[in-house]
Amino acid sequence: MIKLPIDDILPAFAASLEEFSSFILKASPGSGKTTRLPPLLAKHLKGKIIVLEPRRLAAKMSATRIAEEQNLTLGKEIGYSFRYESVFSEDTQILFMTEGTFLRKFEFDPELKDIAAIVIDEFHERHLETDVILSLIRSLQEKKTRLKLVVMSATIETGPLINYLENPKTFDLDIPLYPLEIKYLENVPSILNQALEKKVFLAIKDYWNTEGDILVFLAGMGEINKVMNALGEYQEYALILHGDLSPEEQKKAVNPSSKRKIILSTNIAESSVTISGVRIVIDGGTHREASYSPWSGLKHLLDKKISQSSCIQRSGRAAREGKGYCFRLYAKMDFESRPFEINPEIDRSDLSETMLYLTSLPLKIKWFHQPRKEFIELAMDTLKAIGAIEENKLTDIGHEMLKYHLPPRISRTLVAAKNADKETKTELLNHLARWVSPLDSKRFMKRLSFFLNQTGTEKKDIAYYYLMGMWEQTVQFKSDLTKGITLKGEQLKRQLHGQDEFLLALEVNHRHEIESSLPIEPDWFYDISPFPLKELQHCLFDEKRNRISVTETVQLGILKISENTIPLQFDRMGADLKEKILTISEKRIERFFQALKDNHQWHRLLYIPTTIS
């Protein structure tokens, strides 16, 4: 087994396990922390070791590498688990998992009974799940004092973690394996403004006579396809590495080969064990960052510049087996102006799914990074509005929603449709897949196949079920059929012509235009639970015309669902009642209506009026 820099500090790490519960490990890229530390923990601790990775490929490659180095059997002593693929058994002592998979495990085992240690790898990426997991484990440590926590990354800012973890043992290993030469584009507009595919082609041409495979970091499949088509004579060497590829296709890219490779990759290759043969990195400088629709709360991916820490992570892939070269396709001034770390996802997320999950746990969370108060309040208001939470506890609906692992509005829609017939469920699921997961609709359908297997006979329009989870996204159109108003008073435009008075706006763009919608029927509002409609009454007294009229209005927020006016003849009332009406300004509203009830039993006037004029 090849000696790695991490090996020099492992004895000291083992010696500190008895005294400390929390550890911070900052170690250079390629130092061996991901593959050497978990076996050490397994050797000295009683219980399972869970290692959390931000991506599926990293989890799989790391487990496979340890199995090879330690002569272990993959699926027996060591394994991995993530959505759509798991290789482990009851005897597995070291288990690599993605963060999302671990949260689902924690939901069913919040005490982590058989777990001795949790290792959070690549902490610098700061996904929402990363912050939630760190906060949960730290909170659990106060109850389960023997549980060990290791937080590690090559580019971690240790100060905030040291304060939060309260006296952790810290290891800092800054020993680059081999020299690394970094090159930037000239700060000249004509060079910087070239098409990305041209920049990549010229960079490959520049390094083609330099030994080693070439790893190109690109934002997504769109960029990968453009670069692939522009490679010309280099195209025969090109392979793609992307999270949605099959395991076989991923192996072609990462496994050693006698033929030189150009690996076109997303940031999936940023957090994984060494890809053998890579000596040259070409960094496009961008990635797809999670953003959330302010309208629907659904996650979207936007192209953003990566942080300095991610730049360092990427360049470090080149110098793990010999002298490395990194060509950053942006100016040095650009690099220096970037923040060292990205803004944590928890500061820009819709927290409704997170709060639904945390409310289900018998554990009060101790946050590492406190979410913004208004984000938590908005999330809780959403959950209350769709019936998932009542008095800060999960309702039966909320418990049902948890099993879907989807944004709450979507899971509430599926809960509402649980009694629908199979044809309706299939139509609904297909529509959801095209909207929520257009690039991965087949997997979306596969993951929710259990929803289709629930028996039911109800047959309604799929818009009806959407409304049960998204009624707050209702838009009403009156005389101007192109402009509508939301229940909070926001004006929206309809992109397509239509005659429907009510629409459920699934998605709205930054120009306040409805991009995706479904027509809804007013009668459906009465089936929403919890009941969101308000019945208001306005009484108008006309002494000259001897008439009183009562207008009853049913509203959803500020939207008028229905309105009905009842005229009543004043001269048909008794003298006593007339007196009460004439002196209404001096009487309590409650007494006025009690008189109406006592004298005439007007069953439609059972509510106290909002206004009387």
Give the pLDDT band (50/70/90) at residue 605: very low
Q: What pLDDT digit, counting tens, does each position of 563-591 carry? A: 888 776 555 555 555 555 555 444 444 55
- Domain range for residue 566? 534-612
Over range 428-448, report the average pLDDT: 89
Q: Is the pLDDT of residue 195 over 50?
A: yes
Q: Do both 185 and 162 map to the same domain? A: no
Tell whether 385 is covered by a domain.
no
| C-alpha closest to that of 21 among 109, 147, 131, 118 | 147
Give the pLDDT band (50/70/90) at residue 30: confident
Tell whether 79 is covered by a domain.
yes
Over range 305-327, report the average pLDDT: 92
Q: Do both 43 and 21 map to the same domain? A: yes
- DSSP state letters, 65-103: HHHHHHT--BTTTEEEEETTEEE--TT-SEEEEEHHHHH
493, β-bridge pairs? 483, 513
Q: Do both 303 and 189 map to the same domain? A: yes
Main-chain dihedrals φ then ψ at residue 183, nearest 5 degrees? -125, 145
Who has greater pLDDT, 338 or 612? Answer: 338
**What was the pLDDT predicted at 603?**
41
**What was the pLDDT predicted at 613?**
38
Q: Do both 189 and 259 map to the same domain? A: yes
CA distance 490 to 493: 10
**What was the pLDDT predicted at 579?**
57
**What was the pLDDT predicted at 564?**
85
Percent of all residues in the chain with a pLDDT value above 70, rounded to a whole number: 91
Q: Do both 224 and 129 map to the same domain? A: no
CA distance 481 to 498: 7
The last residue of a domain, from among 115, 142, 173 = 173
| C-alpha closest to that of 492 among 512, 509, 516 | 512
**What was the pLDDT predicted at 160?**
92
| Structural domains counted in the chain | 4
Q: What pLDDT digit, counting tens, does each position of 42-73 carry? A: 999 999 999 999 988 889 989 999 999 999 99
**Angle, nearest 10°, between helix axes 56-70 and 33-44?**
60
CA distance 200 to 99: 32
- Do the beta carbons of residue 278 and residue 318 sit within 8 Å? yes
Neighbours of 387 (CB within 10 A): 21
Averaged pLDDT score across all residues of the chain: 88
Q: What pLDDT digit, counting tens, does each position of 363-389 carry? A: 989 999 999 999 999 999 999 999 999
Percent of all residues in the chain with a pLDDT value above 90, rounded to a whole number: 66
The last residue of a domain, from among 346, 364, 379 = 346
- Do the beta carbons of residue 155 and residue 123 sit within 8 Å? no
Q: Do both 97 and 24 map to the same domain? A: yes
Q: Do both 17 and 148 map to the same domain? A: yes
Q: Do both 322 and 258 map to the same domain? A: yes
Q: What pLDDT digit, counting tens, does each position of 386-402 carry? A: 999 999 999 999 999 99
Q: Do both 116 and 33 map to the same domain? A: yes
Q: Do both 25 and 131 map to the same domain? A: yes
Q: Do both 108 and 225 map to the same domain? A: no
**What was the pLDDT predicted at 601?**
42
Tell whether 394 is covered by a domain.
no
Tell whether 599 is covered by a domain.
yes
Q: Is the pLDDT of residue 531 over 90?
A: yes
**What was the pLDDT predicted at 495?**
74
Two structure tokens written together for 232:
């010309």
Neighbours of 373 (CB within 10 A): 8
Sequence-ordered list of residues with C-beta below 8 angstroms from that of 35, at least 6 positions apart, any chain:
62, 65, 66, 69, 273
Tell whether 365 is covered by a domain.
no
